[in-house]
Structure 1
């Protein structure tokens, strides 16, 4: 086999496999992750309406609902489908880690209300004890990965498009990196094949002269990494403005302010765990801003200290 065909084959197989995984497997996972974070920024009433709408598509409607405008936010609803009665319990918040106790509490309410069964909905996760308790009490668990497919078509189109755009941008960026790695891997395969073929060549002096030409692609492999170009002042300021615009639309963040070209101050109302991935997602879109120091300001009235963090060290 020609050494060039070997390198091309290794590059194509590696690059295509990485592209298929990043676009077809990990991109939908990222959409779900970003989407669940977005749902956690909704109000209680907005989240419960979203879940109730998903249940209506199953044929489960709220039994004798009162006007939503006149009642306090609630987390438990009685649903009906024909003669069947179901209890829906909404646990709002991506930080939820539900064990057996809330499930058993819902099971007791089902027995007291003579309901057919129950549904537990949350953006968080239900632990193994909670799942075991649900199986024994006719309760369906709709936690993060199971809830997202039920509500993805019901959220606001603008929010859904934003989530999909974030996931697609991350997938494209990593696909580009994967192809750089595939080129390097192909060059390494060519170098390895050249080294194995070398001893079988007759010991004639002209042979060493041909070897540098075969190994030349190895030296060329790092070239794609040198494609980064330092932005001009105008380009850098435009990138900084784009980051601020994106953060202003991010759930849980009230505003961002550039204190210096390397220091970004962010005012948040959500937890640091919820907003930090969104901040890094925006900064890492621009290589010149990846090492920005971020000042995370606590929510108003909170006793939390100001935190300093950095997405990338280099």
Structure 2
């Protein structure tokens, strides 16, 4: 009786739980499919049509295009250059990376921060119907660049698309199979629980006093020698040291990527390696202090983290050369 009651409770709870989970899983798959289909639809547009949709989405955020001399009335440059936006006195530079392929690399982001500063913008927004690679996402954070790929862009531009392509709806037969699968699984769970509870119930004959087996007296445990009872002392294991690449070509590529990324920082004119362990950073103004932004770029690679940084003031400046080391050995 107890086994049947427990099995019935498991059957009911499992049936309702599985029905809810299967319906939630079916509903959650629809937005992901819609975003993927929308990104594919955006990649088929011409650059100007794509830029127009993006500009409408930015206007939904409160931005307005800054109409400069020689620009069309809609604010979209005819030469495909970046668009200057303004919201509440704050300016941002919008860059539409449309013709660079399905994956935008970090190389496409170099120079955007400096270009934004020259045009009086504090932030940079980069949009693409494709995706960004890992290196682009790493260098975007310290340079105040917002990356919006196709799946994130689609919900913002969808209200402005004339006929958005929606994912194929789930056939009625597939939706009608959800209760059958849920309650079928619940029935299997209930039967298994019934068998388990039946096996755990004590046998009345085995527990009767007349047939109970004689008690077995356990022998006292053997005494443990003092030497054996003492646990062995283990030495703490030191954490593994950071591994450096051994290929000189890989190290040189890391130096080149780091120098290019630091050259795009605000207040930096250019950066180059004077030796294998010294990075020359030429500042564009006496007030520039890009140490807090360049150290994370150096510390991405363990072999460059302890490099010596020489901060060179602008030509004609009376300030002395400064030296910095982001991480010691």
- Residue 20 of structure 1 aligns to a residue whose secondary structure is helix
1:91 to 92, 97, 102: 97
- Any unmatched runs of 5+ in structure 1? 204-314
Aligned equivalent of 1:186:
186
Structure number, greater radius of gyration:
2
Mark the CA change 1:177 to 1:129 in structure 2 (over 3 Å): closer, same or farther.
Answer: farther
Separation in 2, partners of 1:18, 1:40: 33
Aligned equivalent of 2:21:
17
| Equivalences for residues 5-44 of structure 1 within 5 A | 5-23=9-27, 25-44=28-47
TM-score, normalization: structure 2?
0.50
Is 2:102–2:131's contact at 8 Å kept on the other side of the alignment? yes
- Map 1:1-314 onto structure 2 (within 5 A): 1=5, 3-23=7-27, 25-64=28-67, 65-67=71-73, 72=78, 74=80, 76-81=82-87, 83-92=89-98, 96-156=102-162, 158-159=163-164, 162-163=165-166, 166=167, 169-170=169-170, 175-198=175-198
Cα distance in structure 2, aligned partners of 1:147 and 1:138? 18
Q: Residues 114 and 171 from structure 1, CA distance in 2 versus in 1: closer, same or farther, beyond 3 angstroms?
A: farther
How far the C-alpha of 1:186 sits from its partner, in A, is 1.4
Distance 2:53 2:110 in 1: 24
Q: Is the 8 A contact 1:79 1:87 kept in 2?
A: yes
Query: So what's the TM-score if we normalise by structure 1?
Result: 0.52
Q: Gaps (5+ residues) in structure 2?
A: 205-329
How many angstroms does 1:202 deviate by?
8.5
Give yes or no for contact 2:95–2:127 (8 Å, CA) kept in 1.
yes
The number of aligned residues is 196
Per-residue CA deviations over 1:204-243 (Å, capped at 9, x if unaligned) read xxxxxxxxxxxxxxxxxxxxxxxxxxxxxxxxxxxxxxxx
Taking a change above 3 Å as real, the CA distance of residues 195 and 73 of structure 1, as seen in their structure-2 partners, is farther
Separation in 2, partners of 1:70, 1:20: 42
Greater per-residue helix proportion = 1
Task: Identify if the C-alpha distance between structure 1 residues 108 and 171 changes in structure 2 by more than 3 Å, giving closer, same or farther.
Answer: farther
